[in-house]
Structure 1
Amino acid sequence: MPMSDTTPFSRRHRRLPLVVALALAIPLVHAQEPAEHEHDPVDLDSVQVRASPLPSTAEELTRPVEVLAGERLDEAKANSLGETVSRLPGVQSSYFGPGVGRPIVRGFDGARVQVLNDGLGAGDVSTVSVDHAVSIEPFLANQVEVLKGPATLLYGSGAIGGAVNVVDGRIPEQATYAPLEGRAELRGGTVNDERTGMARLDGTSSDGHLVFHFDALHRETGDYDIPGHAESEGAHEADPDHDEEGASGTLPNSALRTDAAALGVSWVGERGFVGVGYSLFNSRYGVPGHSHGEEEDHDHGHDDHDDHDDHDDDTHEEEGAVSIVMDQRRGELRGGVEDVGPFASMRVKLARTEYTHTEYEGDEVGTVFDNDSTEARLELTHRPLLGWDGALGLQWADRDFRAIGDEAFVPASATRDTGIFWIGQREAGPLKFEVGARHDRNRIDVDEARAIGPDRSFDATSLSASMRWNINPDLHLSVGLDRAQRTPVAEELYSSGLHVATGSVELGDPGLSEETANRAELGLHWHHGPFKLGASIYHVRYDDFIYLAETGIDDGGPVRAWTQDDARFNGAEAEASWAFAENASGRWDLRVFGDIVDAELTGSGTREIDIAVPHGDHDHDYTVSLARGGNLPRIAPARLGGELRWERNAWRASLGAIRYAEQDDVAQGESPTPGYTLVDAHLAWHLDTASGGAWEVFLDGSNLLDEEARVHSSFLKDLAPLPGRGVAFGVRAFF
């Protein structure tokens, strides 16, 4: 998209120089002050997982979890949260251009994977549509935790497939090591002309009680480079009326701009803390491959492949290109206290989020989404009871959602969720057990003027049991069993109309019931000297799995209907590392990993459903026959990856590659996606200063083979490949 000063997307406030100046000045001012810490490498197995109310490290938990922190997080940080965690075993990312990437955990995404900001929901609308971004900035994170497998026990039905918890420390819970500490980073990139600046500060008063946090980030990127044509060869050949090859070399309308900032203040005492914080997140990004105006002005009879007909015409692109401006303001209150009667600790979290999301068609406003939410969480950790350490929790959420505009395919709704849970653990010799239960009550009140069905209420109950057997100090086995339930969301119940992001007419079913997942998992972890190995296999059987089915009807676009049937997910993942040398040449480590998931409907034969496609004041009625078996759509492909790491004195470097297999286990009406290999490399030089701070210069390469890569789980796979070869470079300062 052209970056003129007249478009809503590209209107700039020129904040980058301010962030740059702040990022450079703070370390210099503070360079002579004493400090008691260094930026040391982090042992990820020993990091405490904050997503669990029971204090545990990643190594100690009986449930599968992955953690990114320290240098590993610095190397993985990307424009989206999904891309940041996408190199972890069992975790990939959705893709709707560089501004949108949501985590996919073991094949589950959308409303089945909860995205959390240190234990509370993000408050955005990223589950409503695949072109909506997550409102959490990964560059400002201290650590990122991925809970694999159902996390409904802790976070409700929206986490039936897993949860990703981003810990940013925006409300301090303890005094800092020095009166003032923090970090700053400046970076640039070649593939998209990236310019990013960030800075964060944490400080403590002289008496150690008043603690503050501040952070700010500004990012600008242009349209990114691609190895070949934006439109895939298969899509081009499938459209005989489309003679032009469209854009090549650069993907139009893929620019991005993000601003984020936060301020938090806490009072910290001997037994606990109380703190408040306020944050903002503003992002403007293009939606490549889409032009609403083009679809409205021309009756082609097919979907968004037509968007490339006039990419070479700058005027047309300016008038019809779709961009999104999202703005979120969030206030939080958090507190914690130790030794509260029969409880060892109590923690309270409260967040109020005001979110607005505007979709522009050129300069014109298309659709506006408003989402105001309030969420509260209480966690009480009790003293040992009958040999069990445990935590009791209460969670409450209130969400008011509104969509205004011609393309508002979901009516306004108010959602109220209340949940109560208990989780406990105990050890018996070499065995460690964890059990828990949760019950949720959910209610959705829908706008009667636009509703296709009545208000709904649901009850969901989840149970979990897991065990870890420490066979010896080097080897342990884990077993997990879960029964988890998820209630339908408003989009699945009440959608009725054209969903431009997917280029289809989307129809909800107000009669949907709760889906139930029964999971069994077996895991192994072994470490001995320089060797580490982790592996797991899992099976999930769903009753009444909710999915978006292809009906085979084209009525103003392909018609897809939300429905439910039984399904199963089978998968496996493994990761191994070997520190094979440590000598005068440095320390050398080799890491390999792989994952695979297979998902399909388990029924046989066919079943019929009745659907009504809205057309003004009347409907077109159809009876559709759906197959009860076959593959589920948009399932992430199998992968095999490896990485070689080297460290010596102030230097560290790595070279990695991930092979994404061809995905040809596709659903009816879905096309296969070719495989591809992504090669990346990292180089950093680290300098510790006499005052206890540090400087770091880095160089990161991505897609070094310049391969054409298309994400199978993306609705834009035939319109928007991943970026081509790119190099990012910059400097970090720690103080």
Structure 2
Amino acid sequence: MRKTLMALALSTCLGALALPAQAADADTMADATTDKDTDKHGHKAKELEGVTVNAVPLGQQADQIVAPVAVLSGSALDDAKAGTLGETVAGIPGVQTTGLGKAVGRPVIRGMDGPRVAVLENGLGSQDVSNISQDHATSVEPFLADQIEVLKGPSTLLYGSGAIGGVVNVVDGRIPMRAPANGFAGRAEGRYDSGTDGKTGLFRADAGNDRFALHVDGMRRNDGNYDIPGGTQANSQVKTTSGAVGASVLGDWGYFGASVSRYLDTYGSPAEPGDVDDHGDHDHDEHDGHDHGEEAATIKLAQTRYDVKGGFYDPVAGIAKAEVSFGHNDYQHVEFEGSEVGTTFRTQANEGRILLTHEPLAGWEGAFGVQYIRRNFSAIGDETFVPPTTTKAWGIFLTEQREFGPIKVELGARTDRQTVSPDDQPRRSFSPSSFSAGASWRFADAWHLSLNLDRAQRAPAEEELFANGPHHASDTFEIGNPNLSKETANQAELALHFHGELVEGKVAVYTNRYDNFIYLADTGLEEDGMPVRTWSQHDATFRGAEAEATFHLARNDSGAWDLRAYGDTVRAKLTDGEGNLPRIPAGRLGTQLNWSRGDVRASVGAVRYFAQNKTADFETRTAGYTLVNAHAAWTFHNGESNQWEAFLDGTNLTNRKARLATSLFKDSVLMPGRSVSVGVRAFF
């Protein structure tokens, strides 16, 4: 049934693409989710010409990049924003999320998650420990983002070993690269969420002139336990505080600035809710298997980040622009069992990048650079399941592009040297290399075909190599393998794009053959009352497809009507008949009807997640479900420069029981039930 519906969706999109184009200047919506109604402050104005993708060199817009990329910005980002980064980007085809309640959700790109997906803030790694375990939150706040960029597929070329599955880059402007056009710009927001009795407030302000720019922001979220069908999910509360101040000096020569940011997060692990009575906070039928005599597990996270960034025009002959960035990160999170400290995770990390864009050379445009990372990691306490480890990595890379008439070619290469040094164990060294080639053929005004070929390598992460012990908050006894070798991905993607006046869309198919794929396998055994999972290695194959189309139904006195339809599926299995890989996203089909007229906009949509029956050994199936969501917003003005927006968002409006196939905790933790958020945004 799932394959039939997916094939129907892909055929529908392809059929839609065959409709004749009426104009050549239609907005791009399949390659980049952009806002057509965004002004100089990032909201309501006439039309956004294009969105520059910061995560790739040369200042390109999303529809100019051959590799698969998607961007959320403007009102599309405002409507998508959620408490976790994974949930915020999960509406993009090919992108889903892991999940542990409202506090934890990391992006899953084409079936890849954890250490294979790099989470960046303004081009530098978040350097938290969210890649180590699914109960660990990211330290990046989507509510303060200007735009969020997703690079789908291997991105090791630019960002190294930890981006073999893709990149999610959160751009928040904490180091200003320019001053606001009118000298000052800002925004503020307050919202209430019925499903958690939660309140969220945020503000940001930017000011400056042609010589100096200043940025300040802050955010506070306080959510209680969230509602689920038939009850409340115990121990799912979350409190988050984030803020930053940054400043830059500006001139015709470029910019140079610095910022300091702080992120604090305290949340419960609904996978370990502790002792809850039958009249308490959850339906016991949804939590079979827990030892309710234990204390609830909570996590308290704190991170301080220092960043420096500069861009210099024409610094030396032959170099058009030099970009330098450096970040230092102090991170800690403490896992509590009741009031007792269980395990304390700490990282101290330094990361630096130099990117040099050269002048055109024999028709080729490109950039080259170097990246360095040093990370000290430790986990201290009763459950020290990963030893203290120091990781060092150097990488050099080159990317080039050229147009040959209607054909655009992109080429790139990178090599790294990475060492992982645990306490009291032998050091491991790896030398991953990556190569990429892509071509886009614009064979008609509205059509283009793209092909991407990638060979990427990844060194094992510290938890995959050295884990050995219980992890209470994730309810797992985890065992690593210090003899793991680097894994190699060989990916091919073919995509067809159409941009017309009536229809815009994209269909893509891909295959990724992995040598020595590393995965966390269930053994069916228990240790200390926890399931034993081991880091294993085997050849594997990922195959998938994704499609998206937007139909511009009407532009008349009743308003502007658009219908968006999308779908994705991925199949991942071990080669030689060894079975399926665990925690692979379920296929899905979604549709959304959007309407706007004047200062009012609204949308309603539904997404069907199909059952995941292609499970690994000892993994349970995941039932299918349908989520219905809706948004509405009304913009009103207070003077010439001030603008207000009242909004109403509804999620899971039919209150369905939903479980994520990507989650370690799907059998014990439900996704949130029906919830309605109401709030006001101010732009000034």
Q: Same fold (TM over 0.5)?
A: yes
**AA at the equivalent of 2:249:** W
Using the alignment, how far apart are the partners of 1:289 and 1:641 within structure 2? 29
Q: Does 1:417 align with 2:393?
A: yes
Aligned-pair CA distance for 1:175? 1.6
| Equivalent position of 1:213 in the other structure | 215
Q: Does 1:429 align with 2:411?
A: no
CA deviation profile, 1:187-232 (whole Å, cap 9, x unmatched): 0010001101100000014xx211100000001010011103xxxx
Compared with structure 1, are the counterparts of its residues 359 and 41 closer, same or farther at alpha carbon in structure 2 (3 Å cutoff)? farther
Q: Does 1:375 align with 2:379?
A: no
Q: Does 1:530 align with 2:502?
A: yes
Compared with structure 1, are the counterparts of its residues 555 and 121 closer, same or farther at alpha carbon in structure 2 (3 Å cutoff)? same
Q: Does 1:151 align with 2:124?
A: no
Aligned-pair CA distance for 1:308? 4.8
Aligned-pair CA distance for 1:501? 3.8
Equivalent runs, 1:54-133 vs 2, <5 Å: 54-133=58-137
| Equivalent position of 1:583 in the other structure | 556
Q: Give yes or no for contact 1:45–1:59 (8 Å, CA) kept in 2.
A: no
Task: Give 2:481's match in structure 1, choosing from 505, 509, 516.
Answer: 509
Compared with structure 1, are the counterparts of its residues 309 and 407 closer, same or farther at alpha carbon in structure 2 (3 Å cutoff)? closer
Q: Give yes or no for contact 2:498–2:505 (8 Å, CA) kept in 1.
A: yes
Equivalent runs, 1:326-405 vs 2, <5 Å: 326-341=301-316, 342-405=318-381
How many aligned residue pairs are there? Answer: 635
Compared with structure 1, are the counterparts of its residues 43 and 85 closer, same or farther at alpha carbon in structure 2 (3 Å cutoff)? farther
Task: Give 1:199's match in structure 2, choosing from 198, 203, 213.
Answer: 203
Q: Give yes or no for contact 1:38–1:692 (8 Å, CA) kept in 2.
A: no
Aligned-pair CA distance for 1:94? 0.4
Q: Does 1:597 align with 2:546?
A: no
Q: Does 1:733 align with 2:677?
A: no
| Equivalent position of 2:461 in the other structure | 489
Using the alignment, how far apart are the partners of 1:594 and 1:42 within structure 2? 29
SS in 2 for 1:123: coil
| Equivalent position of 1:23 in the other structure | none
CA deviation profile, 1:530-582 (whole Å, cap 9, x unmatched): 21111100000000111122333334333222121100000000000011101
Q: Give yes or no for contact 2:258–2:306 (8 Å, CA) kept in 1.
A: yes
Using the alignment, how far apart are the partners of 2:225 and 2:42 within structure 1? 38
Aligned-pair CA distance for 1:344? 0.3
SS in 2 for 1:719: coil
| Equivalent position of 2:433 in the other structure | 461
Aligned-pair CA distance for 1:305? 5.5
| Equivalent position of 2:22 in the other structure | none
Using the alignment, how far apart are the partners of 2:486 and 2:41 within structure 1? 50
- Identical aligned residues as a percent: 50
| Equivalent position of 1:16 in the other structure | none
Aligned-pair CA distance for 1:389? 0.4
Q: Give yes or no for contact 2:41–2:186 (8 Å, CA) kept in 1.
A: no
Larger Rg: 1
| Equivalent position of 2:52 in the other structure | 48
Aligned-pair RMSD on alpha carbons?
1.7
TM-score when normalising by structure 1: 0.85
| Equivalent position of 1:24 in the other structure | none
| Equivalent position of 2:255 in the other structure | 273
Equivalent runs, 1:439-450 vs 2, <5 Å: 439-448=415-424
Using the alignment, how far apart are the partners of 1:502 and 1:630 within structure 2? 25
Deviates more, 1:555-564 or 1:486-495: 555-564
Compared with structure 1, are the counterparts of its residues 489 and 697 closer, same or farther at alpha carbon in structure 2 (3 Å cutoff)? same
CA deviation profile, 1:671-694 (whole Å, cap 9, x unmatched): 101000000000100113432221
Using the alignment, how far apart are the partners of 1:36 and 1:81 within structure 2? 25
Which stretches in structure 2 are left out of the alignment for 5+ residues? 1-38, 277-285
**AA at the equivalent of 1:734:** F
Q: Does 1:567 align with 2:569?
A: no
Aligned-pair CA distance for 1:720? 1.2
**AA at the equivalent of 1:697:** A
| Equivalent position of 2:21 in the other structure | none
Task: Give 2:633's match in structure 1, choosing from 675, 684, 688.
Answer: 684
Q: Give yes or no for contact 2:41–2:185 (8 Å, CA) kept in 1.
A: no
SS in 2 for 1:59: helix
| Equivalent position of 2:659 in the other structure | 710
Q: Give yes or no for contact 2:402–2:408 (8 Å, CA) kept in 1.
A: yes
Compared with structure 1, are the counterparts of its residues 306 and 410 closer, same or farther at alpha carbon in structure 2 (3 Å cutoff)? farther
Q: Does 1:258 align with 2:240?
A: yes
**AA at the equivalent of 1:687:** F
Compared with structure 1, are the counterparts of its residues 578 and 45 closer, same or farther at alpha carbon in structure 2 (3 Å cutoff)? farther
Aligned-pair CA distance for 1:130? 1.0
| Equivalent position of 1:698 in the other structure | 647
| Equivalent position of 2:25 in the other structure | none
CA deviation profile, 1:79-132 (whole Å, cap 9, x unmatched): 000000001100001001211000000100000000000110001010111110
